[in-house]
Amino acid sequence: MTLTLTGRKALVTGGASGIGEVTAQVLAKLGAQVVIADLAADKLAAARLRTGACGITAGDVVSEADCNRMVEEAGAIMGGVDLLFNAAGIGDDLLPVHEQEVDRWQHVLDVNLRGTYLMCRAAGKQMLRRGQGAIVNVSSIVGLGAFPGRSAYGVSKAGVVHLTKTLACEWGAAGIRVNCIAPGYTRTPMVQDLLDRNVFDPTLIEQRTPLERFAMPEEMARAAAFLLSDWASYITGTVLPVDGGWAAYGAAGDVRKIRTGEG
C-alpha cells in the first residue's frame, strides 16, 4: 500500500513559506491538486513554482469575506476543496502578561485562532455539501503546556486544539475528519527570526528535546499528509505532537544528562 492523495483537492493557507509551503509541496508530490493561499500576495507566484501548486489565492484569514472568497476561488480552480491545511499563523512578542499590549495579544489570537475558525467554517460548508473532507489545523507544543512569556500564542494554539475536537465531533457523521498537529520547535522563517534576534538559546531547546534537535518543516508536512490521507481514515479529533519527544519528557534538567546517568 502506498500513501497517495491522487484525485484530492487541497487548499493550504500560509502556503508561501514555512510549514505551509513545504506541506503544499508534499501534497502535490503525493498526487493532490493544491491551491496555496497567503496574505503575502507578492510571494505566491514564486511559491507556486516551488510547490507545484495548480493555483494561488491571496487574502487575510482574519477576514471572513477573504476566507470565503479564498475557498471559493480554490474550489473554482480545482473543481472543489476536500482537503484543508491551516498553516497561516504568527508568533507573539515573548512578554509576560503584565507587559503585553492588549492589541498585540488580540491580533495573535485573531490570526491564529479566528483565522483557523473562519477557514474551517468556509471550507467545511463546501465539504458538507460534498459529504467528504479532511482538515488538519496547526496547534503547537505551546498550546499543550504553559510557556511563560507566550500567553498570546499559547492561548491561540490551545484554542485551535479545542476547535479541532469540536469540529471533529460536529462533522464526523457527515464524512469530514478534523485533526491537528502540534509542532515542536521547527526551522521555519518565524523561528529563525527569533533565533536571529537572540530571543532564546537554541541549545536549551535541544537539551530539552529527547531527539536533541529542532524539527524540519518536511517532518511537519509528512505528519499533516498522513492525517489528510485515507491512511488516517479512522482518526479524527486528535492532536498529534510532532515534537521530538518534547511532550513526553517530564524529568528535570538536560535530557542528555538524564540519558547518560549524569543528571
Q: Which pLDDT value is given to residue 93?
A: 78
Query: Hey, which residues are catalytic here?
Result: 153
Q: Which pLDDT value is given to residue 200?
A: 81
Low-confidence ranges of the chain (pLDDT < 70): 259-263
Q: Could you tell me which of 33, 138, 141 has the C-alpha nearest to residue 85?
A: 138
Q: Which pLDDT value is given to residue 16?
A: 97
Q: Which pLDDT value is given to residue 73?
A: 98
Tell me how far the alpha carbon of residue 106 is from its chain's centroid. 19
Question: What is the spatial distance between Cα 194 and Cα 82, in angstroms, rounded to a whole number?
Answer: 35
Question: What is the spatial distance between Cα 138 and Cα 12, in angstroms, rounded to a whole number?
Answer: 11
Q: Which pLDDT value is given to residue 259?
A: 66
Q: Which pLDDT value is given to residue 215?
A: 97
Q: Which pLDDT value is given to residue 263?
A: 52
Domain 9-186+216-248 part of CATH 3.20.20.70: no
C-alpha cell of 79?
A: 473543481
Q: Where are the domains positioned within the chain?
A: 9-186+216-248
Q: Which pLDDT value is given to residue 197?
A: 85
Question: What is the spatial distance between Cα 137 and Cα 164, in angstroms, rounded to a whole number?
Answer: 7
